[in-house]
Amino acid sequence: MNTQIELADIRAAAERIRGIAHRTPVFTSRTFDSLAGAQVYFKCENFQHGGAFKIRGASNFIFSIPKDQLKRGVVTYSSGNHAQAVAIAAASVGIKATIVMPADAPKSKLEATRGYGAQVVTYDRLTENREAIGKRISEETDATIVPPYDHPLTITGQGTVALELLEEIPDLDALVVCIGAEA
C-alpha cells in the first residue's frame, strides 16, 4: 500500500483518540544507557489499555467509521494485542466486535479479548486463512473490517506514540521501533 501520511493526519488521530488512549510515560535506564553507549528513552506503551500501542490504531479506525456504518459492528483478525484493542474500542462506543483469533493463541489473550466484550471466532492457523474468515463474517454481518496494520487510519493512530515521544523528547538522534509480523 502506497500511502502518504502527513504530520497533520497523526495530530488529527491524536485528537480523535484522546479519550481512550493514555499518554504513556517515557522512562530511562542508566544501566541500558551504559550498555548502549547512548542516552536511551523508552516509550512505555505497556501501560496502555490492552497493554500495547495497538489501542491507538484500532480506536482511531473505529472512531472514524461513519455512525450509520458503525452500528453494524466491526470485525478483525489478530493473535492478541490488536484483538484486545478492537474489543476495547468497540465497547467504548457500544458496538459489537467479532475477532478472528487462532485457536492456539495464548489463553490469556483469548480470555482478555472475550473479557472486553468481543465475540471470538477461532480458526486453525495451519489450515485456514484469517483474512478470508474475517471477510466472510464482514459480508454476512455488514460489519466493518478493522485492519491490524497497513491502513492509513491504523497507521496514523499508531503514529501518535511517536508524536507523544517527540513532544516530550524533541531532540532525538534516532527513533528505534520494534515491528513484527501479525500471525
The catalytic site residues sit at: 54, 79
CA angle, residues 2, 128, 1, in degrees to nearest 5: 0
String of DSSP letters for 53-98: THHHHHHHHHHTS-HHHHTT-EEEE-SSHHHHHHHHHHHHTT--EE
- CA-CA distance, 71 to 147, in Å (whole number)? 18
Cβ–Cβ under 8 Å, residues 88 and 146: no
Residue 171, C-alpha cell as written in the block: 531532540
